[in-house]
A and B are shown apart, each in its own frame.
Chain A
Amino acid sequence: MTVDEDTSKELLWEMLRIQEFEDEIKSRFQAGDLPGFVHLDRGHEGNHAGMGLAMGDDDWLAVGGARLVGQYVAKGVPLGEIMAELYGKSTGSNKGYGGQMHVSNVERKLYGHAATIGSGQNPAVGLALAEDVKGTDNVAVTTIGDGGTSRGSFHTALVFAAYWNLPVVFVIENNQWAISTPSSDLAPDHLSDYGIPHKMHNESIDGSDVEAVYESVSGAIERARNGDGPSVIECNVVRLGPHFEGDKESYRDPEELEVAKEEKDPVKNHRERLLESGVVTEQEIEDRLETIREEVEESVDFAKNSDDPKPEDAYKNVYRLPLYGQEE
């Protein structure tokens, strides 16, 4: 499969959208507007856009790793709903109960994130089971970082997915670091090798090449839809920013990072490639950026002008009441 020009462009637009949105999140965080901590995606945009475009609206995304926002964007959650959730507002996707680490949207089949890294993969297998039982051809895509692959829960999910040949795509975003722990110290040559003992399709690709991601994930989804079972894809990327905003990154070699920024920036690379091949023009990009910036600005206005949840709402949603058999 090769990527046609329209898709190529779509991929660029989506990456730019993620990047612009996240730049704004960064400013909002620095301004002290957002509670908690924020993990941003610089370097992962190709992964998120590629994956997002490869998926159908009715496929589940169970978000993992720690680079989250770009995935929510790629699954189609409106920027305003995400921003409002980051602000903890009542109009957020989760009405302020979830925040940056838990954006979910059942209608859009975004399962959301297990903030205990690596606990989202078994639920993803369960989502695939539900689709299987219902006889649809929908699949579940689940992401995880290199760090998360060390958890037993991740390996269990591979066992279960293989056991029932379920339609799951495990995407490992290997950005070389689990906070300060390098993935190069892990024993496997490729983290996708974890699929080998389960006789699962596995491949290791350049995740900073958005088209490569789109193609691989599309292929895996296609296999899953056709009943050919789960896949593991390792996407090798570079984390071009800190683990979270405020991380001093004392463990990193600044020179290496500078080289990586030159060579492994998925947005920059794809943009240059499309400009060189004449698929887009600078003007087109400028126009598009203008539209995106408006959308981003609107999302901030929406979040800022939204109401906080009412304090008493903290007690809602713990249980669906009445419990079965209770009088209303």
Chain B
Amino acid sequence: MTREITYIEAIAEAISEEMERDEDVILFGEDVQEFGGNFGETAGLWETHGRDRVRNTPLSEIGIAGMALGAAVGGIRPVAELQFADFAATAGDEMFNQIPKQPYVSGGDLKAPLTIFAPSGAGVGAGAQHSQSVHSWIGNVPGWVVVTATTPYDAKGLFKSAIRDDNPVFFLPHKMLTEAKGEVPEEEYTLPLGEAAVEQEGDDVTVVATQLMFHRAREAAADLDVSVELVSPRTFAPLDTDTIAESVEKTGRLVVVDETVERYGTQGHIANEIVENNFFSLDAPPKTIGVKDVPIPVSPVLEQEVLPSADRIKAGIESVF
């Protein structure tokens, strides 16, 4: 049985069900109680689970991220929100040096089963410090599991797995998708982390994309005469290159679209994996498409200019033939 719910409802459901299932799951972040999060992602949770388990924090990402680390090591499963993905930088040391490394430097002794989630991506005119896609920053530090969600189905299934996973997981919903509706099973389900999904089968070209870019790529593909195979990596770190390689093996062509900036972005890494390991399955050089190398501007005209549009994706796909 499925029903249609929004992406943001899917997230709230995922958190609520996991809190119900496991009393070690604690949610905290700025304004997660009555206010319910900037996008409604935590609405009503405190009423169901109480103020001890759904906790408002003072305004400090350092505190939230650092405390999540300690709480996880201490034996509970914190789910902590940063109000915007950009703010991972304000907890820079925690995000880059502490959380991903403590389990490793302990020789695997110490376990940090925490989830930090933070809305990412551009498109709402929120400007340069509220619109970034930071999965390339965080994916650059081994130790983080970096997960994104493209559909409500993903959002629920992947978030639940993120909470259950024993690694630190950085989970990135996309702001522009919050109201997107999609089919989500009535029954309990989870989706595996670390596995890419072939969302649409095709023969001529593999397009790898997530979040908003996935939806734009689908739109672009529908407009073309070629048969496009759409792959959503779902987890950026560690990356499931096997599924992407298999797809390219079949299609011979690769286009990677993502909302990280092109310079040192995820696109280049994914393309490189294929070039280096599966070069002879390629019939053409791969094409990478991302945010132009500028901060995200506010004016809708400027903002849309720097984001990959369906047209730019279309042209990118055409360019590999």
Partner of B58, one of A127, A160, A316, A327: A160
Partner of B192, one of A119, A126, A164, A324: A324
Contacts of A62 in B (CB 8 A): 70
Q: Which 3 residue pairs of A and B lie closest in terms of their CB atoms, listed nearest first?
A: A126-B70, A122-B66, A130-B74
Which residues of chain A in 274-309 are interfacial with respect to chain B, using CB atoms and an 8 Å cutoff? none
Q: Are B57 and A163 in contact (CB under 8 A)?
A: yes
Q: Are A129 and B74 in contact (CB under 8 A)?
A: yes
A163 and B73 alpha carbons, distance in the complex (Å)? 21
A125 interfacial contact with B, CB 8 Å:
yes
**A326 and B192 in contact (CB under 8 A), knowing A94-B105, A122-B94, A127-B74?**
yes
Q: Are A95 and B98 in contact (CB under 8 A)?
A: no
Partner of A122, one of B62, B76, B103, B194: B62
**A126 and B67 in contact (CB under 8 A), knowing A160-B58, A324-B161, A324-B193?**
yes
Give me the interface of B with A, judged by CB distance under 8 Å: 24, 26, 52-53, 55, 57-58, 60, 62-63, 65-76, 78, 93-94, 97-98, 102-111, 142-143, 145, 161-162, 164-167, 190-195, 235, 238
A217 and B97 alpha carbons, distance in the complex (Å)? 30
Q: Are A123 and B67 in contact (CB under 8 A)?
A: yes
A123 and B97 alpha carbons, distance in the complex (Å)? 13
A-B contact pairs, 6 of them (CB 8 A): A106-B73, A126-B71, A126-B74, A129-B67, A133-B26, A325-B195
How would residues 148 to 191 of chain A score, 1 for a CB under 8 Å from any chain B CB and 0 otherwise? 00001100110110011000000000000000000000000000
Contacts of B94 in A (CB 8 A): 119, 122, 153
Number of cross-chain contacts by CB at 8 Å = 183
A126 and B63 alpha carbons, distance in the complex (Å)? 9
A213 and B104 alpha carbons, distance in the complex (Å)? 33
Smallest distance from the beta carbon of A140 to chain B beta carbons, Å?
Answer: 8
Q: Are B62 and A326 in contact (CB under 8 A)?
A: no
Contacts of A318 in B (CB 8 A): 104, 142-143
Contacts of B238 in A (CB 8 A): 319, 323
Smallest distance from the beta carbon of A179 to chain B beta carbons, Å?
Answer: 19
How would residues 230 to 246 of chain A score, 1 for a CB under 8 Å from any chain B CB and 0 otherwise? 00000000000000000
Closest to A154 in B: B62
Q: Are B70 and A125 in contact (CB under 8 A)?
A: yes
How would residues 21 to 36 of chain A score, 1 for a CB under 8 Å from any chain B CB and 0 otherwise? 0000000000000000
A121 and B213 alpha carbons, distance in the complex (Å)? 39
Q: Are B110 and A126 in contact (CB under 8 A)?
A: no
Smallest distance from the beta carbon of A66 to chain B beta carbons, Å?
Answer: 16
Contacts of A133 in B (CB 8 A): 24, 26, 52-53, 71, 76
Closest to B68 in A: A126
A250 interfacial contact with B, CB 8 Å:
no
A320 and B194 alpha carbons, distance in the complex (Å)? 12
Partner of A134, one of B65, B75, B167: B75
Contacts of A127 in B (CB 8 A): 70-71, 73-74
Q: Are A111 and B70 in contact (CB under 8 A)?
A: yes
Contacts of A2 in B (CB 8 A): none
List 9 additional A-B contacts (Cβ < 8 Å) besides A122-B67, A319-B145: A106-B111, A119-B93, A127-B70, A128-B70, A133-B52, A153-B94, A160-B60, A160-B67, A320-B103
Smallest distance from the beta carbon of B51 to chain A beta carbons, Å?
Answer: 11
A116 interfacial contact with B, CB 8 Å:
yes
A6 and B69 alpha carbons, distance in the complex (Å)? 38
**A interface residue count range (under 10 / 10 to 19 / 20 to 34 / 35 or more):** 35 or more
Smallest distance from the beta carbon of A57 to chain B beta carbons, Å?
Answer: 15
**A125 and B63 in contact (CB under 8 A), knowing A130-B74, A130-B76?**
yes
Q: Are A323 and B192 in contact (CB under 8 A)?
A: yes
Partner of B66, one of A98, A112, A153, A322: A153
Q: Are A324 and B106 in contact (CB under 8 A)?
A: no
Q: Are B71 and A97 in contact (CB under 8 A)?
A: no
Smallest distance from the beta carbon of A134 to chain B beta carbons, Å?
Answer: 7
A205 interfacial contact with B, CB 8 Å:
no
Partner of B105, one of A98, A106, A116: A98
Partner of A326, one of B74, B102, B104, B193: B193
Partner of A121, one of B66, B106, B108, B162: B66
A195 and B97 alpha carbons, distance in the complex (Å)? 27
Closest to A124 in B: B70
Q: Are B78 and A126 in contact (CB under 8 A)?
A: yes
A131 interfacial contact with B, CB 8 Å:
yes
**A130 and B75 in contact (CB under 8 A), knowing A94-B105, A98-B105, A323-B145?**
yes
**A119 and B145 in contact (CB under 8 A), knowing A104-B106, A104-B110, A319-B167?**
no
Which residues of chain A in 83-126 are interfacial with respect to chain B, using CB atoms and an 8 Å cutoff? 92-98, 102, 104-106, 111-112, 114-116, 119, 121-126
A105 and B73 alpha carbons, distance in the complex (Å)? 11
Partner of B193, one of A104, A112, A129, A325: A325
Contacts of A160 in B (CB 8 A): 57-58, 60, 63, 67
Contacts of B110 in A (CB 8 A): 104, 106, 111-112
Q: Are A317 and B108 in contact (CB under 8 A)?
A: yes
A111 and B195 alpha carbons, distance in the complex (Å)? 32
Most buried by A among B24, B104, B167: B104
Contacts of B98 in A (CB 8 A): 114, 116, 119, 123
A160 and B193 alpha carbons, distance in the complex (Å)? 32
A60 interfacial contact with B, CB 8 Å:
yes
A159 and B59 alpha carbons, distance in the complex (Å)? 10
Smallest distance from the beta carbon of A124 to chain B beta carbons, Å?
Answer: 6
Partner of A323, one of B55, B57, B72, B235: B235
Contacts of B74 in A (CB 8 A): 60, 126-131
Q: Are A102 and B105 in contact (CB under 8 A)?
A: yes
Contacts of A129 in B (CB 8 A): 26, 67, 70-71, 74, 76
Q: Are B60 and A156 in contact (CB under 8 A)?
A: yes
Contacts of A134 in B (CB 8 A): 75-76
A116 and B93 alpha carbons, distance in the complex (Å)? 8
Closest to B104 in A: A317
